[in-house]
A and B are shown apart, each in its own frame.
Chain A
Amino acid sequence: MIRIILSAHLQGLTRVHGEVELEVAAPATQRSVVDALEGKYPMLRGTICDHVTQQRQPYLRFFPCARDLSHESPDAPLPDAVASGQEPLLILGAMPEGRSRFRCHFMHHRKAMSRTR
């Protein structure tokens, strides 16, 4: 089970507020996760990867496990912690403050999740 946290904009499209869970065959990669995500939520098609180029939208980031995998190969296996569902994969719009903002967001999320478990 892969856990995904979507940007608020994308949550609005899916009407799912909170984490999305997906079954993805191993080895899970950015591409296979996006494919599975678009399969379950067709309204997301074109919002994560461009319709025409199939490239990641330039201002969109993949943040798992306090790392930035946005520039990794889309076919590279995701970290084990994401593949096992231990950690979520964040799909977010790029933030002007860069990584520091991302870390704040990530830590905030972890705290929030720890409170709800």
Chain B
Amino acid sequence: MSGVRVLVGTRKGAFVLTSDGMREQWEITGPHFPGWEIFHVKGSPADTERLYASQYCVWFGQLIQRSNDGGKTWEPVGSKFLYDGVPGTHEWYDGTPHPWEFKRVWHLEPSLSDPDTVYAGVEDAALFRSSDGGLTWQELCGLRGHSSAPRWLPAAGGMCLHTVLLDPSEPNRIFAAISAAGAFRTDDLGKTWRSINRGLKSQYIPDPNAEVGHCVHQIAMHRSGHGPLFMQKHWDVMRSDDLGESWHEISGNLPTDFGYTIGVHAHEPDTVYVVPITSDSEHFPPDGRLRVYRSRTGGYEWEALTEGLPQRNCYVNVLLDAMAVDSLDSCGVYFGTTAGELYVSANGGDRWALIVRDLPAVLSVEVETLS
């Protein structure tokens, strides 16, 4: 019987949750690595038992953990992230040059075809790849070598490369997003990169249409690689129909165009989900009502999904890697909150159920569909 395994990274450890295809009864293990920040946990599409986790602590630095048994046991692998060549400088908050310094791994993206190949998006922004199961890491230095890199600058959370999308329809194509630089694409497996920010507008930077300087929060695409790209930016929900060459706004009737996370339905490339959050300082749901918004028209009309979600006195946040979808016939949608709640909808968002509450603040949610 098919089922799901949900991988949750939190401020104080990782949790692994499993359920059958009904997604009603859950077994929860954890915390794994208690006391450590787990920025991201993700499984290999090529081997669902192979998991990678980014484990971080301000005192003791970065570790990468690997599991070969679906999260039952873990072993530390390599965590030596060395920038290629002389790192150079990027812009600091005050506009002055600042040297590139490795801080932590935000996102781990396993290869679609090889369990031993995995990509790591790091702060300060760079993309690394391991081809030996995480034992050693090499920078794909073409990204940081982009001509705009000296003008990249950190967002409030740091200058992090937090989104890595591997295109299932074109094995040499990768999308990456950086706060606050923008989105980038390679068509030659990371050798060369182009900025793909045309159409993005960030009204409070000196040139709202600049090539870089945009605080992209997440990019999502359908798991087939076909269909549009969707982006949740610091402000604005955006869509691209040409692999990011140009973007147009689809915020439409959303109650706010700010948010962190965005996801695409497993079977419907034009069905997209966001969680609107008020900004610029509040960072909780509008009116204290936790609502997921779904568009079945590629972002041109949005509907609020509220059944099963708190509709009063709710002041949580949903962070940028904290939503995921499974690929069961009835697509499941999952998200976690900074209050430690994990929600699931087993019917594409129509009704929501609380899986667990009172976890540490949720940083990331991923799901593996098990057969």
Contacts and interface: CB of A to CB of B under 8 A. Distances in A.
Interface of A: 7-10, 12-13, 42-43, 45-48, 50-52, 57, 59-60, 93-94
Nearest to B78: A51
B13 to A, nearest CB: 9
Nearest to A60: B59
A81 B277 CA distance: 57
A12 B55 CA distance: 12
B59 A51 contact: no
Contacts of B62: 46
Contact of A7 (B33, B60, B102): B60
Interface in B46-96: 57-63, 75-76, 79-82
A18 B216 CA distance: 45
Contacts of A43: 63, 75-76
A73 B59 CA distance: 20
7 contacts: A9-B36, A9-B57, A10-B60, A13-B33, A50-B61, A52-B82, A57-B59
B35 A12 contact: yes
Given A46-B61, A48-B60, A57-B59, A12 B79 contact: no
B34 interface: yes
Contacts of A47: 57, 60-61, 63
A57 B33 CA distance: 19
A10 B59 CA distance: 10
Given A9-B57, A43-B76, A50-B61, 14 more contacts: A7-B59, A9-B35, A9-B59, A9-B60, A12-B33, A12-B36, A13-B63, A43-B75, A46-B62, A46-B63, A47-B57, A48-B60, A51-B61, A59-B59
Given A47-B60, A93-B60, A94-B59, A12 B34 contact: yes
A113 B196 CA distance: 61
A93 B75 CA distance: 23
Interface residues of B, number: 18
Contacts of A50: 61
Would you list the 3 A-B pairs with minimal beta carbon distance, nearest first?
A93-B59, A47-B60, A51-B80
A59 B63 contact: no
A78 B175 CA distance: 51
Nearest to A93: B59
A57 B35 CA distance: 18
A91 to B, nearest CB: 10
Nearest to B102: A52
**Candidate in B34, B76, B81 with the most chain A CB atoms within 10 angstroms:** B76
A79 to B, nearest CB: 23
Nearest to A10: B60
B77 to A, nearest CB: 10
A107 B33 CA distance: 28
A7 B58 CA distance: 13
A13 B102 CA distance: 22
A47 B55 CA distance: 11
